[in-house]
Amino acid sequence: MDRREALKLMGASLAAVAMAGIAPRTHAAILKDRAKNKKRLVFYFTATGNSLFVARQFSDSPISIPQELKKKDLTYEADEIGIVCPDYAGAIPKIVREFVQKASFKAPYMFSVITFGNACVNVAEYWDEFCQGQGVKMNYVRPILMVDNYLPVFDMNQQMAIDKHTDENLATILEEVGVHKDFIAPAEMGFFNKDMLKGMQDQHFSMTADRLLQLREDRCVQCMTCANVCPHKNFSLADKGVSFAGDCEYCLACVHACPQKALTLRSAREGWPGERNPEARYRHPKVTLADIVRSNRQ
Ligand SMILES: Cc1cc2nc3c(=O)[nH]c(=O)nc-3n(C[C@H](O)[C@H](O)[C@H](O)COP(=O)(O)O)c2cc1C
């Protein structure tokens, strides 16, 4: 069909729509329909729901990385494969890196959306390079600004009051992924430089639960929510309260989810890092506690 015929056909269908009184379909709806004809797999990791909320915009059934890691066979083939996860210190959570190291992906289009709260620095380039090192070619990596759940620096009540323009940015990303745009977001360094970042990113936030957390025993009702949201199975019932130990993702899911606010971060006096407001906690408003448990429970 040449250009003239195509335009004629388009005109005829618009006229038919107008005559039938049907509203023309939006571009977003057309993109969503087009995506339905393709096989798209979307994997995610989340502690407080931002990344799950984003993953759900790309797929009706996004796949939890901590659950997937329990499987032996991590071989995936699809038309489009996406990974959605938070930014941790300009790098990517250990559990997501482990997943990419262990998995084998076959897809003509690979994309990644990284949720962050304040400064994404060069996380897209970092992630692109990491994936390349594992033989995975990312076609598209873009960070998206959301509530910053990093308790040492931010007060959640203040964060939740800030308009981060997530919907507008998400619409752009959905559209770009829908048309298979090739794009790796350039660095936004602010006052950081690459050497400072490399130190942080190389460190990969290695942390243990006992070093990071402290329990306000008088508040703990032993509901075990902390255990249920921990992707590393770090919590167990104790005579009084709960005990915790082991390699920690530093995702803060346990601290944010505790209904009693019984878990806090150790203060600067006892060891790094303390927190800004131990009475303010966060979960994305469209994500339930049951969603976080389903995503992370071991
Ligand atoms: C350990 C840790 C480190 C973080 N580092 C950064 C950072 O360097 N820059 C940033 O903008 N946000 C940072 N954040 C905030 C998260 O990336 C952001 O809130 C994310 O959307 C949380 O996603 P989730 O709700 O899916 O867990 C960090 C959060 C944690 C827990």
Residue among 50, 148, 205, 286 whose CB has most ligand 1 atoms within 8 A, to mutate = 148
What is the Å distance from ligand 1's center to 147 Cα? 8
Same domain, residue pair 186 and 70:
yes
Same domain, residue pair 75 and 117:
yes
Same domain, residue pair 189 and 244:
no
Least confident of 69-83, 106-120, 202-216: 202-216
CB of 46 closer than 6 angstroms to any ligand 1 atom: yes
**17 found inside a domain:** no
Kindly give the residue spans of alpha helices, DSSP state H, lying in the chain: 3-20, 27-36, 50-58, 65-68, 94-102, 123-133, 156-160, 166-178, 194-203, 209-212, 225-229, 253-257, 289-296
Q: Count of domains in the chain?
A: 2
Same domain, residue pair 122 and 215:
no
Same domain, residue pair 263 and 193:
no
Is pLDDT above 50 for 69? yes
What is the Å distance from ligand 1's center to 146 Cα? 9
Is pLDDT above 80 for 18? no
Least confident of 67-81, 115-129, 146-160, 256-270: 256-270
Q: What CATH number does residue 78 fall under?
A: 3.40.50.360
CB of 146 closer than 6 angstroms to any ligand 1 atom: yes
Is pLDDT above 90 for 171? yes
**216 found inside a domain:** yes
Task: Say what the pLDDT of residue 269 is.
Answer: 65
Range of the domain at 54: 24-203
Same domain, residue pair 227 and 257:
yes
